[in-house]
Structure 1
Amino acid sequence: MTRFFMAVGRHRRLIVALALAVAVVFVMAHFWVPTLAQRAFPTLAVLVLGTLALATVVLALPRPRAFEVRSQVPAFSTPSSPAAVFLMLAMLIMAMELTGTVIRDLDTTETFVDRLLPLGAVVLTVQLAVGVWRGQGIELRPDGLRDREWAGTLIVPWDALPVVPLPRPTDPRGTLPVGYARPELVRRHGLVTSRRRLYTDNIDQRFVARVIRYYTTHPEHRSAIGTRVEYDRLLSAISDPPSGPPDQDL
Structure 2
Amino acid sequence: MFSAIFDGIGRHPRSMIGGVVLIAVGSAGVQLLAAPDSDTRYAIPAVLSLLVLASSVLSLVALARPRPAAFVVDARSAAFRTVSHPRQVLARAAAVLISTAQATSRMAAHAREGDPAWDPMSRTSDVLAAVLVVLAALLVAAVWRGSGLWLRQDGLTERNPLGSVTVPWDALSPSALPPTTPSAWSLRLGYAKPELVRRRGLASSRRISTDTVNALFLVHTLHYYLTHPEQRQAIGTESGYADLLRVLYGATPRQPVDGYTRRTP
Q: TM-score with structure 1 length normalisation?
A: 0.88
Task: Decide which moves more: 125-134 or 77-86.
Answer: 125-134
Say whether the 8 Å CA contact 1:166–1:210 is kept in structure 2. no
State the partner residue of 1:247: none
- Whole-Å separation in 2 of the counterparts to 1:131 and 1:72: 20
- Whole-Å separation in 2 of the counterparts to 1:178 and 1:149: 17
Shift of 1:89: 1.5
Q: 1:209 to 1:203 in 2, by over 3 A?
A: same
Partner letter of residue 150 of structure 1? P
Residue correspondences, number: 241
Structure 1 unmatched ranges of 5 or more: 245-250
Say whether the 8 Å CA contact 2:68–2:214 is kept in structure 1. yes
Shift of 1:145: 0.8
Q: 1:242 to 1:87 in 2, by over 3 A?
A: farther
Say whether the 8 Å CA contact 2:10–2:89 is kept in structure 1. yes
Say whether the 8 Å CA contact 1:66–1:243 is kept in structure 2. no
Shift of 1:167: 0.4
State the partner residue of 1:178: 189
Confirm whether residue 200 of structure 1 aligns to residue 210 of structure 2: yes
- Whole-Å separation in 2 of the counterparts to 1:42 and 1:243: 43
Quick one: which of 167, 172, 194 aligns to 2:180?
167
- Whole-Å separation in 2 of the counterparts to 1:193 and 1:6: 27
Question: How many percent of aligned residue pairs carry the same amino acid?
Answer: 36
State the partner residue of 1:223: 233
Partner letter of residue 210 of structure 2? T
State the partner residue of 1:7: 8
Shift of 1:135: 2.5
Q: TM-score with structure 2 length normalisation?
A: 0.83
State the partner residue of 1:68: 72
Task: Decide which moves more: 30-39 or 15-24.
Answer: 30-39
The root-mean-square deviation of aligned C-alpha atoms, in Å, is: 2.1
Confirm whether residue 109 of structure 1 aligns to residue 110 of structure 2: no
Q: 1:94 to 1:158 in 2, by over 3 A?
A: same
Shift of 1:136: 1.8
- Whole-Å separation in 2 of the counterparts to 1:37 and 1:243: 51
- Whole-Å separation in 2 of the counterparts to 1:4 and 1:114: 35
- Whole-Å separation in 1 of the counterparts to 2:185 and 2:141: 20
Matches within 5 A, 1:64-103: 64-103=68-107
- Whole-Å separation in 2 of the counterparts to 1:81 and 1:37: 34
Confirm whether residue 236 of structure 1 aligns to residue 237 of structure 2: no
Shift of 1:242: 5.6
- Whole-Å separation in 1 of the counterparts to 2:53 and 2:5: 18
Shift of 1:71: 1.7
Say whether the 8 Å CA contact 1:99–1:118 is kept in structure 2. yes
Say whether the 8 Å CA contact 2:31–2:44 is kept in structure 1. no
Paired residue secondary structure (2:29)? helix
Shift of 1:41: 3.6
- Whole-Å separation in 2 of the counterparts to 1:82 and 1:201: 11
Partner letter of residue 80 of structure 1? S
Shift of 1:4: 1.7
Task: Decide which moves more: 22-31 or 37-46.
Answer: 37-46
State the partner residue of 2:49: 45
Shift of 1:92: 1.3
Matches within 5 A, 1:239-250: 239=249, 241=253, 243=255
**Bigger Rg, structure 1 or 2:** 2
Task: Decide which moves more: 202-211 or 25-34.
Answer: 25-34
- Whole-Å separation in 1 of the counterparts to 2:103 and 2:137: 14
Paired residue secondary structure (2:187)? strand
Structure number with the bigger relative contact order (C-alpha 8 A, sep ≥ 6) is: 1
